[in-house]
Structure 1
Amino acid sequence: MIFAEKRTPTVPAFLYSIEARRTGISALPSLFQTLTTEASSNVAPAYTSSSLFKQVASAAKTSTGVASSVMVPSPSEPGKIVMFSGEYYRACAVGGMMCCGLTHMGVTPIDVVKCNMQIAPEKYKSISSGFSLLVKEQGAVGLVRGWVPTLMGYSVQGACKYGFYEYFKKTYSDMAGAEDAKRFKTLIYLGASASAEVIADVGLCPFEAVKVRVQTNPGFAKGIMDGMPKLIASDGVGGLFKGLVPLWCRQIPYTMMKFATFESTVEAIYKYAVPVPKSEVSSGTQLGISFTAGYIAGVACAVISHPADNLVSFLNKSKEATVSGAVKQMGVKALFTRGLPLRIIMIGTLTGAQWGIYDSFKVFVGLPTTGGVVEEPRKLA
């Protein structure tokens, strides 16, 4: 395999170093307190990307006051990140955390409108009227309700999804052997992504329940800090996981389609559209291919997972909601089509951006981009 050119990026040490976690991670609660306090207030978040990163950097400082960082070597250097090692999977998890958490938070306004269109179609009849009605009734803050549970929930989910996908893909390839891993590579993509998503959704579910309740019931709570205790008080701890099975029904097919379609699309692009081997393609072009393949995968994901998405929104609306009640009230046709155009736009853009961010992070730490080359499965020494 040909790896990316030599690079020595710096990332926060608390992501990798045990010692740094003991010293620097202690400052993180203050950051989360600031975020959750912001979410609990009746104002839109005032963070810019630069100010947020400054606070993250500040939280990563050691007891000596010097920002903790570790040089993450590229695979071509001594002390490199060994492919399929624990450090490799941690790097993939960090990339997944970034790409899912930030992108889902970024499309919160679209998500708010989508959820309300699914729950109250008689009131929110179209995309444009949905936006204007929300702003009229709740102000601009109405469009960003639930952004903190969204950020936190999908960061947890993304770390598990991408980290475990890479792990299961390697594990299943080793189990199949070199020849069958090539022959049945699509089945391996499907199995690895499904296995990863089962784990990822357990982490996402409580945050998703609070997010939907906050977004669709404006008087229920202002954010994660008051929303989760209220939900537990009204529905019990089990209420946080009430939507887990529908969430699995939505996310597992979505993720299977997302990863398998992405991998197959990237491979097809390099095979039929790029005249040179992947190793000779620039990093910028590779990242463009990642985004393109991700967008294509996102459209397919939106269509296959949309009925379950409608169910998740309906079930998290109230304590009394049931699956049979949702199907009866919405109807089968609406279950498959209500809010679908908006979700295609949202998920297509979201998925393309996720793969772009994820592979950008991999390149940043000296790892190759995802897909395009079928590797010989090998076990670690």
Structure 2
Amino acid sequence: MAKPAKDASRLLLKAAHDLFESEDEREEFLEAMLAGDSKEMAMIILQDRPEIKSFPRDRHLKWQPPFVERISDPEFKAAKHPLYTKGAYYSLDFSSVFSASAMLAVATPPKRVLDMCSSPGGKAVFAYRAFHPEVLLCNEIIRKRVSTLIGNLDRCKCEGSLVWSADPSVFARRYKECFDLVICDAPCSGQSLIAKGDEALGAFAPNMIDMNVGRQRRIIGNCYHCLRPGGSILYATCTFSPKENEKVIEWFLKTHPDMEAVEVPHLAEFRSRFSDFPAYRLYPHQGLGAGAFACLVRRKDEAPEHYEPLGDMPALWRYGDEVIKPRPREEIEAEKKAAKEAARPPQPTSIRDIVKKMNADRPRKPQVKKPRKRRK
């Protein structure tokens, strides 16, 4: 155990010290993080296919949703199987299932769901499978990630799904009190990704954490305005920093007194020690994925019977539209090369042309006029 601790960065060591009271658990956490081989995968089952029963599956945990299967063989490539292309299931890290499962504690199945930071779409697909909402609006502000999101929603046949690409503040203005459930899978420092092999130990840097806290507060604040009375927000991250997790929720509850954190009974054994309100943590050394944080908060007031109109909603894509597949990278590069070649001036093709070009390019000496001789 001494070797992982010796190789760890000072910031990672400090994080381990702050996260765990037990020295043994600190060592286990560091070992799991520095091993970088977390491969606990799962599948959200979307179609009842007998072939799935032949997949290498692990035993069900007591809190595991019935429509989720754990993969027991880390070398099994679920995304390479033909059933994946047919939309029979969605493949994701099991720790994502952990955080997504907190939405199952909502009092009433939501009719309208907004996934504010959606790509690649795991939590949106989870919400679709769990609730089959009438509207599943998925937003992804980073345009280059939108095609992946659309591809997954279309492949998984998520009826009623739409895709937008806009700043969260747009939704706060346009869709006030419109959604029963808002998923806020917030951008974060991504500390758990190190357990998957990412060597970015800078994820523990204070300036990185502080930058994300500012973003997270702004996003969840905008999520609040989209929430109907009685509705819920699922706040989730894939990081361990209390500043990005419990402290963000603590700030949110203080600035929004009509909100409260909700118990998630099936995750009780994962209750965080960093807050007085119910929040839940998963760590890589627990063997259930790279790690995650989840907290479910709800509006205390009663839900009205009527729904606010959504309007025209000119989405980038809605289920049933044609999916424009991204062009192959090789094709794009070949097109760029051809355009660059076309922009070049024509090159000389014969010796005469080459000599002519050389003479044309050769700098000419300035001609000095000789004084004319006067005749005597």
Give the TM-score normalised by the residue count of structure 2: 0.28
More helix by share: 1
The structure with the largest strand share of the pair is 2
Structure possessing the higher radius of gyration over alpha carbons: 2
Q: TM-score, normalised by structure 1?
A: 0.28
Higher relative contact order (CA 8 A, sep 6+): 1
